[in-house]
Amino acid sequence: MGKPTLILASASPRRRELLARLGLKPAAIAPADIDETPLKGELPRAYAVRMAREKAEAAASSEGFVLAGDTMVACGRRILPKAEDEATARQCLELLSGRRHRVLSAIALRAPDGTLRERLSETIVVFKRLSTSEIDAYIEGGEWHGKAGGYAIQGSAEGLISRIDGSHSGVVGLPLFETRALLKAAGFALG
């Protein structure tokens, strides 16, 4: 039997780049279009895992293994949105300024037989206290668009982060340690 087929349930170029670091190229990209609204009273960890699971199920295939992920930012019990406009990005950055927050990156792997495996990475990130001019400059750069919590650690926001405790790749969008472990458990031959 040949190498198992991997289907990535995400259109994210960052997730493809991160998978390439493990020597993997998905055979297909099948973004899952699901409702990403948190349930009433849903806590951040449960939300991240549910999103990854639902994405894997939505892209399910008998042709291969489906890998799905969800990365979200939590400040306390609050789930921060993906910033789709400048006002939301600004609100997120003002909230995160000078504070620690958690980035939860869940992954789910669905086998062709329906078996589902999941992992969760939790990373603590601390922003320096941001001045209005720093927030303005970051907003102007546009990296925040579509990003959970209104920032992308792989861009200029990294220069505003004073500390990170956990998985850098998890904050980018795919925790490589957990992904590798999940794929190995499913029978993928990795170096």
Contacts of residue 71, defined as CB under 8 A and 6 or more positions apart, other chains included, come to 48, 103, 104, 105, 106, 148, 170, 171, 172, 173, 174
User: Six-digit token pair at 21?
Assistant: 């670091």
DSSP category for residue 36: -
| List 33, 35, 70, 165, catalytic entry | 70
Nearest Cα neighbor of 80 from 68, 65, 95 is 95
The partner residues of 108 in beta bridges, in order of sequence, read 68, 118
> CA 134 to CA 98: how far, in whole Å?
13
Distance between CA 106 and CA 96 in Å, rounded?
A: 21
Q: Are 81 and 144 in contact (CB under 8 A)?
A: no
Let me know if 33 is a catalytic residue: no
Catalytic residue positions? 70
